[in-house]
Amino acid sequence: MTPGNEPTFRQSVDLMFNRAVALMDLRPGLEEKIRVCNATYTVRFGVRLRGHIQTFTGYRSVHSEHMEPVKGGIRYAPSVNQDEVEALAALMTYKCALVEAPFGGSKGGLCIDPREYDEHELELITRRFAYELAKRDLINPAQNVPAPDMGTSEREMAWIADQYARMNTTDINARACVTGKPLNAGGISGRVEATGRGVQYALREFFRHPEDVKAAGLSGTLDGKRVIVQGLGNVGYHAAKFLEEEDGAKIVGIIERDGALYNQAGLDVEAVRNWMVKHGGVASYPDASHTAEGAAVLEAECDILIPAALEGVINLKNAHEIKAPLIIEAANGPITAGADDILRERGTVIIPDMYANAGGVTVSYFEWVKNLSHIRFGRMQRRQEEARHELIVRELERLSEHLGDKWSMTPNFKSKYLRGADELELVRSGLDDTMRIAYQSMREIWHGREDVSDLRTAAYIASIEKVAASYRAKGL
Ligand code: NAD
């Protein structure tokens, strides 16, 4: 492959899929059934804005209905097209299977630059888009459940939920029609940061295995590791912030639309984000050097590279120049199939997108379950758990009374132990568990099979096996 004939995003996903299925023993015909995208709906609709009618084009693609509802975000970007939406829908199928979220794969997109519209206009456009999708059951708690993606956030999800509820006034589960909503509209604690949190948990799990860390030519823990992140949006910001504040990683580079910041001593992620929000970009941020050609910083020296913006950024043109020994794909599809071949040959360890950014859909799953059960997680157990812990602490205190101060509990232990888990703690625990278990399932294949030399192929094999089992159970 040469830079001129780079495959499209969708072809890239299919090439990676093909590489994995070639190592599997699927029943004849099943390979194609799993690979193809079941349906893609294109909607065109008009909204009257600023005195004239503007026509918008949107998509909702359903890749696989081996489980329903199908799940996947809605992206707002001018570059949205059918190929991209189908690639992202396919990745959702494999991602949900890998982390055992009981969904098929879907994705949506609207060709729009959200920065060109004010909030009221965006609400009109989003409600109309939601109307077009909902009336075709492409938004529905039992069939198709969107979530945020690039260019959308909990604000858009709240409008979508409200639009669906207006159209389905007697649906008691209406709130489960979309996830990533704000808390006051049926959301769940910890969803906003879930994808970034998942990236952190994925890296923590990776660093629990010295053998894997060694495979990337690294050693030790996350503490002090030099990190470059591309895209300081929802996913990139949270991942970088948590790694910096909680794991001691050093964020040496941040790449944004208007160039890249670099500081060998480490950047203050919160300060950069605040600067970006205030000034609309990173360019004039004072405590770092700035490079206008941001993508060049993907090639800078670092220990961990986190592409967290968009697809295809590591491709045939720059793959040879990438120095990071470990790449974690926080974005969907940041490495093209051709670049993946090059990096694999050079021994770069890649933690693949379908695993690395699965934190979002995992917590979306929890939100959907919360909406269907109509009760906040922990509401029934929390105080009861505290009461039982109190009993134990009191009894221990009584028993140790005559033993003197040396044997009394530290106040820190006591207050921590006495506190029952709230929703946020339960969400984090469920996410951590999910990320650990999914990593184990990839790892077993990566290390257990002679013919598998990378985590991406292992991830595809683990997830395709699960999709194939679902089809078998359906009698196909
Ligand atoms: P976002 O819109 O919140 O952030 C994207 C960021 O990337 C923005 O800060 C933007 O300015 C920056 N950016 C855009 N083009 C860039 C470029 N050419 N160079 C550098 N920076 C650029 O989006 P997000 O929700 O953080 O999504 C980012 C990626 O993560 C996407 O690939 C998305 O599919 C994936 N993802 C998101 C979620 C989620 O829960 N939001 C879940 C799974 C995967």
Question: Could you state, in order of their start, the residue ranges of all structural domains in the chain?
Answer: 37-187
Distance CA 129, CA 97 (A): 28
| Ligand 1 centroid to residue 267 C-alpha, Å | 20
Per-residue pLDDT tens over the stretch 313-350: 999 999 999 999 999 999 999 999 999 999 999 999 99
pLDDT band for 400, please (50, 70, 90 cuts).
confident
Ligand 1 contacts CB of residue 179 (under 6 A): no
Ligand 1 contacts CB of residue 354 (under 6 A): no
| Ligand 1 centroid to residue 442 C-alpha, Å | 25
Ligand 1 contacts CB of residue 378 (under 6 A): no
Q: Is the pLDDT of residue 2 over 60?
A: no
pLDDT band for 5, please (50, 70, 90 cuts).
confident
Angle of the 234-247 helix axis to the 269-279 helix axis, nearest 10: 150
Segment 365-393 shows an average pLDDT of 96
Ligand 1 contacts CB of residue 267 (under 6 A): no
Catalytic annotation on 135? no
Ligand 1 contacts CB of residue 362 (under 6 A): no
Segment 178-204 shows an average pLDDT of 98
| Ligand 1 centroid to residue 113 C-alpha, Å | 14
Residue 60 in contact with residue 133, Cβ under 8 Å? yes
| Ligand 1 centroid to residue 30 C-alpha, Å | 33
CATH homologous superfamily of 37-187: Leucine Dehydrogenase, chain A, domain 1 (3.40.50.10860)
- The closest-lying atom of ligand 1 relative to the alpha carbon of residue 353 is 44
- The closest-lying atom of ligand 1 relative to the alpha carbon of residue 151 is 2
In order of 234, 256, 306, 325, the CA distances from 263 in angstroms are: 22, 15, 16, 19
Is 100 exposed, middle or buried, given 0-12, 13-18 or 19+ CB atoms closer than 10 A? middle
Residue 164 in contact with residue 130, Cβ under 8 Å? yes
pLDDT value at residue 411: 83
Distance CA 251, CA 225 (A): 8
pLDDT value at residue 31: 95
Calculate the dihedral angle through the C-alpha atoms of 156, 39, 87, 27, rounding to the nearest 10 degrees: 140
Q: Is the pLDDT of residue 117 over 80?
A: yes
Segment 394-420 shows an average pLDDT of 85
| Ligand 1 centroid to residue 331 C-alpha, Å | 7
Q: Is the pLDDT of residue 377 over 70?
A: yes
Tell me the Ramachandran region of residue 60: left when phi exceeds 0, alpha when psi lies from -120 to 50, beta otherwise.
Answer: beta
70: which strand partners? 104, 144
The gap from C-alpha 56 to its chain's centroid, in whole angstroms, comes to 27
The gap from C-alpha 302 to its chain's centroid, in whole angstroms, comes to 23
Q: Is the pLDDT of residue 289 over 60?
A: yes
pLDDT value at residue 314: 98
Residue 384 in contact with residue 418, Cβ under 8 Å? no
Q: Is the pLDDT of residue 248 over 80?
A: yes
Choosing from 91, 150, 228, 258 the residue with most ligand 1 atoms within 8 A of its CB, the one to mutate for a pocket test is 150
| Ligand 1 centroid to residue 231 C-alpha, Å | 6
pLDDT band for 475, please (50, 70, 90 cuts).
confident
Ligand 1 contacts CB of residue 163 (under 6 A): no
Work out the mean pLDDT of the chain and round it to a whole number. Answer: 96
Q: Is the pLDDT of residue 37 over 90?
A: yes
Of 112-116, 277-281, 397-401, 431-435, the range with the lowest mean pLDDT is 397-401
Per-residue pLDDT tens over the stretch 69-107: 999 999 999 999 999 999 999 999 999 999 999 999 999
- Contacts (Cβ under 8 Å, ≥6 apart) of 234: 148, 153, 192, 193, 195, 196
| Ligand 1 centroid to residue 235 C-alpha, Å | 6
Distance CA 297, CA 263 (A): 11
Q: Is the pLDDT of residue 44 over 90?
A: yes
Ligand 1 contacts CB of residue 255 (under 6 A): yes
- The closest-lying atom of ligand 1 relative to the alpha carbon of residue 236 is 26
Ligand 1 contacts CB of residue 233 (under 6 A): yes
pLDDT value at residue 404: 73
The 10 Å CB-count burial string (b at 16+, else e) for 433-460 is ebbeebbebbbebbeeeeebebbbbbbb
User: Which of 95, 107, 225, 370 is the catalytic position?
Assistant: 107
Over pLDDT 70: what percentage of the chain? 99
Segment 36-46 shows an average pLDDT of 98
Ligand 1 contacts CB of residue 431 (under 6 A): no
Residue 344 in contact with residue 454, Cβ under 8 Å? yes
pLDDT value at residue 209: 98
Ligand 1 contacts CB of residue 360 (under 6 A): yes
Longest dimension (CA), the chain: 83
Segment 126-153 shows an average pLDDT of 98
pLDDT value at residue 401: 82
Over pLDDT 90: what percentage of the chain? 94
pLDDT band for 409, please (50, 70, 90 cuts).
confident
Which among 138, 130, 131, 173 has a CA at the least distance from the CA of 65?
138
The gap from C-alpha 393 to its chain's centroid, in whole angstroms, comes to 40
- The closest-lying atom of ligand 1 relative to the alpha carbon of residue 295 is 19
